[in-house]
Chain A
Amino acid sequence: MEENEYILLILKHLNKETSPAEQAGLQQWLDTDPSNRREYQAVEKIWHDSSQILADRQFDKEAAWKKLGETLTFPDLSQPQVSHQPEMSPQTWLSPPSDHRRPSPSDRRRPSVLGARPISALSGFRQKWLAAASILLLLGVGGWWYYSEKIIGSRKVILAKDGPRHIPLPDGSFVDLRKGAVLTYKEPFNEDRKVELKGEAFFLLATRPSGPFSIRTAHAIIEQMGTSLLVKGLPASDEVIVTTGKVKFTDRDDPTSIRIVHAGENMILAEERFTSSRKKDPNFMSWKTGVLDFRDEPLQSAAAAVGDFFGLPVFISPDPGGEMGKIKVNARFDHQPLEQVLEELRLTTGLDIRQRKDTLVFTIK
């Protein structure tokens, strides 16, 4: 056998890519002559030693892991794991809004409420989300590399780990990140003024003649035409609420799908469809202001706002008489802890309201 031939065969063997016939051929060659065996050993040694020699440089893995921990939010494994099994039977959990009534946009942007579903539906929801993510992955691979090409090595990642964070940007703009939100931009913050957002944030944008500020989320690109806006870049949907000025809201999956959102308006992009609610949610910036203000607010949406504010799912017990539907909430909370808020709600609504594990449960007495 020629040198080229047996080296290819040995390599295939080392890579576990030989066919049975090739394997037999290799064996035969090895048995023909002891020098063949030595040759095999020499090639094998080079093959294995090369791996070691190439990966010779030692990098500080511990330090790198620590650095990752400072940027990312990891689950706290020191705490006993919270069981996802609800205490009540699954049937009593809040049905998806579509069962009761048309989902209002304010429901759609409250993941804590949407998340409060029977456990089976919840895992189904998760699965769907994962499926959607992998489809996005297939479509998005090229795009991601294209984008990372521009920001690699010099990007700044800001995470609001423990609570809301107020961040001045180099161009004079300000961003308020809600807890858990991640903002990424290229440093130095160049004339493009492009940021990436995951989660919820309020932007107060500086006007620059050099060009608009743009915010990229998982699904959308939002470009500045005015000055301040709130963006919620959630896994399933994006929402923009403009307080002053106006913005251009573009579906990343379909760049021809564009909405201009003006001051005082909101717009939601979910499943590639834009929707807008006429009624303004007075508490859309509670996480930033620390204030929850309810005036004749239906119990359902008030409960959802409280849950959203404290990051807790909400469960409303079955209400055959429809009594809860009639309850309106009038209250104002200013930087008050959860227990105080619940206490006041109990007093004003006459409901039994308590926190069970990580869920707020509302029940008729």
Chain B
Amino acid sequence: MNTPESHLYRQFKAVFDTYYNSLCNYAFTFIKNAESSEDIVQDLFIKIWEDRRELLMENTIRYYLFTAVRNNSISWLRQEKKFVLVEWTEREEAYAETADAMGSGFRHGSPAGSVQEPLTVADYRGLLEKGIGSLPPKCREVFELSRFSHMTYKEIASSMGISVKTVENQLGKALRILRSFLRGNGVYLAWALINFFLYLVGVGPNLVFY
């Protein structure tokens, strides 16, 4: 048998290496501050090594890590009074449905009400990033947790205190919105490419480059 201590240490290092970046990025989605995000993750790893080493040997560690980062991030925001936890309301559900129905038109407004510049980025990654940014808050939260942690529906449900069905529906909703978002912008891109082509052949109006 290995000495448990050195075995635990290696496991601790492996868990740290695997999850550190994802956890910081996940905390960042709440905190929007890199340094504080790192503090939260640092505190979590201290806590694990000091008090909860038994967790390192369990396959629920992923669930534990992401749930703790989520809870601690929300606590941090509450403490900083920068955030009011978004409640899961019917109004929001209805809103999400409407936004969904808007399809490609969705890109012109952001659900958070923040100012969003018109889309000119002819870049798939950039588009997808904007698409994720424009998901309804709760839908986005479920989607982000899933994409960062790769947890099962059941784990996500338990972590966020919602039902498995809700997780599934929200993920489906996120994908539908993103799909139509990209499709809509695909049309936009095609249009931009045609314009560019017309410019190249010298037909386009007012397209003097210098």
Contact = CB atoms under 8 A, between A and B. Distances in A.
A68 B125 contact: no
A64 B147 contact: no
A7 B179 contact: yes
B120 interface: no
A72 B171 contact: no
Contacts of B75: 145, 148-149, 152
Interface in B1-49: 3-6, 9, 13, 16-17, 20-22, 24-25, 28-29, 34, 36-43, 45-47, 49
Nearest to A16: B152
B179 A43 contact: yes
Interface stretch (A45-53, A165-173, A268-276, A290-298): A45-53
Nearest to A218: B51
A141 B153 CA distance: 22
A182 B45 CA distance: 15
Nearest to A81: B3
Contact of A11 (B37, B46, B71, B172): B172
Interface size of B as a range: 35 or more
Contacts of A130: 54
Contacts of B196: none
Interface string A142-159: 001100110011010100
Contact of A7 (B36, B76, B172): B172
A57 B50 contact: no
Given A75-B9, A153-B79, A145 B71 contact: yes
Interface string A1-15: 001100110111001
B5 A75 contact: yes
A11 B168 contact: yes
Interface string A67-78: 110011011010
Nearest to A149: B75
Interface string B195-206: 000000000000
B110 interface: no
A281 to B, nearest CB: 28
B140 to A, nearest CB: 10
B175 A7 contact: yes
A61 B17 contact: yes
Nearest to B12: A74
A157 B51 CA distance: 13
B143 interface: yes
Interface residues of A, number: 53
Contacts of A208: none
A46 B43 CA distance: 33
- Summarize A's interface: helix, strand, loop or mixed: helix
Contacts of A347: none
A259 B4 CA distance: 36
Nearest to A61: B20
A240 B34 CA distance: 41
Contacts of A53: 125, 128-129, 132
A338 interface: no
Nearest to B43: A152
A52 to B, nearest CB: 8
Contacts of A137: 52, 54-55
A133 B147 contact: no
Contacts of A84: 3
B144 to A, nearest CB: 6
B72 interface: yes
A21 interface: no
15 contacts: A7-B172, A8-B172, A47-B147, A49-B124, A50-B143, A55-B21, A55-B25, A59-B24, A64-B42, A68-B46, A71-B46, A84-B3, A152-B43, A153-B36, A182-B50
Interface of B: 3-6, 9, 13, 16-17, 20-22, 24-25, 28-29, 34, 36-43, 45-47, 49-52, 54-55, 68, 71-72, 75-76, 78-79, 124-125, 128-129, 132, 143-144, 147-148, 150, 152-153, 168-169, 171-172, 175-176, 178-179, 182
| Closest 3 A/B residue pairs (Cβ) | A149-B75, A59-B24, A75-B5
